[in-house]
Each structure stands twice: as structure tokens, then as C-alpha cells.
Amino acid sequence: MDFSFTAEQTQLRRSIIEFAERELGDAAESDRAARLNRDAWKKCAEFGITGWPVPKAYGGAGLDPVTIAVGLEALGYGCRDNGLVFALNNHLWACTVYLVEHGTEEQKARFLPGLADGSLIGAHALTEPESGSDVLGMKTTAERHGDTYVLRGTKTFISNAPVADVFLTFARTGSEDSPAAGALSAFVVTADLPGFRVSRSWEKAGLRSTEMGQVEFDECRVPAANLLGAEGNGFNLFTSSIDWERSVLFASQIGVMERVLDDCVEHVRRRRQFGKPLGAQQAVRHRIADMKVRLELARLAMYKAAWRKREGHLAPLDAAIAKLAISESHLRSMLDAVQLHGARGYLTEFGVERELRDALAGTIYGGTSEIQRDIVAGLLGVPSS
């Protein structure tokens, strides 16, 4: 098993870290403003990040999943604005990749160039007020009327919603007595359609520069040409594409974990207590060692899932394991970072507490830790009833 990067991947990693550290601005200000840094988004788009998984024929870079994971890990390391990185990840894995994998040629030609160059921002409209993890319990409906579908319902906690142009949206097209898995369909909904509106924005504890909102479909007429895949095949599209969100999306968190670990090592080497470096204390040394172990194990889980996607396999088990391992390791390591910095870790001035706040949501979005454990158990053959 060869875990080394190619020369091209090594160069990509180096160039992204240099770009991010030089160009991507003040994370503290973005956090305070709770707004997407549009200038930084534009710079990322010009660098090519918004088009990494998009084929070259549609204006993207056509990178393979492992190379994208290398790039996103480097972005997480170099960019301290975790909300900006999360907004980019949502754009890529919750919207763009669905069109890459399932769009018709007409849909790809219409939407992918704008998504690839960052002039369009993507979002994923799945969660509803009464259904999050229970995807099949959604209430939003789509009814066919000639050459349009009329959508009615509400989607909430939608990342990028206040700034997005394109929403990958799921709705119920089957009747009440239809088999649940065959009752859902996917649509490409643009923000300029009549009957569509962002009804509110949500304030969050972390990842504040990823704007979050609620969207309403009030007799929203969506062209039938915007149906993604076949009617009734929405759940299959979701389950085949969620692997991306549960694996490669979390590559950036690997980069964050490494960056914060490097900061902690420097801190415990420089900070002196009781007449010697803080790192000379065994309790401190062990905490640092645990952070490194979590980082390396999480990295291996993520690259295994990315490798399986590159080879063209479905990877529900690997993606669930990667998502669970990375999100929980990230959160635990950020708690350790706060503890290692003491009072400085708790104060907003030093940025460590922001890293903790940004890590909190990782065990929730993309399927909670509990859902990931349930997926793993189910794929191992453990009965659920």
C-alpha cells in the first residue's frame, strides 16, 4: 500500500497553503460579521477550487477524489476562516457533484460552468423543520403540471441559503401510499424562480461565515427540465452522492487538526510554567500525543474513502467511518487545544475558542454521529428491529 503523494499532489498542497495563508483574510472578522467573505470566495474561485470535481469540458479542473482531498486538506491547514472552507465544501459536495454525477448533458452545460467558476453558489435543500436525519419523512411536495413541477414546503438549516443561486432540492413526488424510497425526487432550483424565497437567516455558534437560512417553496414552479434523474429516484441519488459529503468534505478538517496541533506544539514549547517549558509536563505531552494519534487515524480513514470513490466504488461504510472518526476526533482535539492554552484558549483574542466552536457542528451535519454508528452497524448485518 503506497500512501505517498504524487509530485503534482505535493505541489498542489504547497501552492494551496501558500495561497490560503497569503490571500484568505481575517477569520476573526468573518466570524464576528457572520457573513460569507465574498472577496475570499472570488479568490478561491479564481484559484480553481470551486471547479475541482467538474470535468474540464464544463470549465472545471476534473481532479480525482484523492487529489481533491489533498487540496481540501491543504486549504483547511492554510485558511483559518473555517466557515469559508465549509461554504466551499457545501458548494462542491452538496450541490455541484450531484450535477456532475447525475445531470443530463443539457443540465451540465447550463449549470456546471457557473458552479465551476464560482459565479454561481450552490446549496443543498434537504432538511425540513420536522425531518432531518429522517430523510424519508420530508413533507415538501412536487406536483407535475405540464412542463413544470409545483413545489410546496419549507427547508431549513440550509448552509449557503442566503447567498446561494442554485439549490439541489428534494421533494416528495409520490402519493401518500407510495413506497417511501420511491417517493422522492431531486430538482435543480434556482433562486430567481417565482415562489421561491429565503424566509430567514440563522445565527450559529460556529462556522459563522457560512451563512445558513430557511427557504420556502410557495407554489414554486420549477421547469420539468430541472428534474435531476428520474422521477422517484431522488433517494437513490441522495444515498449514492452522500458518500462525498461524509468523506471528502471532511478532508479540510484534517488540515485544521494538523494546523491546530502545530500551533499547540509551538505553544507548549514556548510557554514556561514552574521553571520549565509547559511541554515538559507529562500530562501536556500525552495530550499532544493523543492529538497526533487522532489526526493520523482520521487521515487514513478519509483517504481510504477517497480512494474508493476514485476507483468508482460506492463507499457507504468507509464514508460513515471516516465521517464519524474525523468529526469526533476534530472536536476532541479542539477541546484539548483549549485546555492546553488555558485562559488564552477561552478568550476570543487568540482564536482557539473559535476553532472549538467551528468543530462543534461536525458531529451533526452530514448525518449525526448516532446516524453514522447506525449505518456502520447496519452494514455489518446487525438487525435494527
Distance between first and last Cα of the chain: 39
| 3-state SS assignment for residue 191 | coil
Catalytic residue among 73, 211, 216, 245: 245
Q: Please, what sign has the CA dihedral across residues 44, 46, 48, 50?
A: positive
Dist. CA 303–CA 219, nearest whole Å: 43
Dist. CA 358–CA 343, nearest whole Å: 19
Q: Largest Cα–Cα distance in the chain?
A: 79
Query: Phi and psi for 196 in degrees, rounded to 5?
Result: -105, 135
CB 151 within 8 A of CB 180: no
Dist. CA 210–CA 121, nearest whole Å: 12
- Would you mind telling me the total number of residues written for the chain in this entry? 385
What CA dihedral angle connects 6, 12, 18 and 20, to 10 degrees?
A: -130
Please state whether beta strands 196-202 and 212-223 pair in parallel, antiparallel, or not at all (unpaired): antiparallel
**Which residue shows C-alpha cell 503523494?**
5
What are the angstrom distances between the C-alpha of 137 and each of 69, 130, 173?
32, 8, 13
Catalytic residue check, 245? yes
CA atoms within 13 A on the CB side of 348: 7
- Structure-block grid coordinates of residue 338: 483549549
Residue 41 burial (CB count, 10 A) = 21
* DSSP code at position 128: B
Catalytic residue annotation:
245
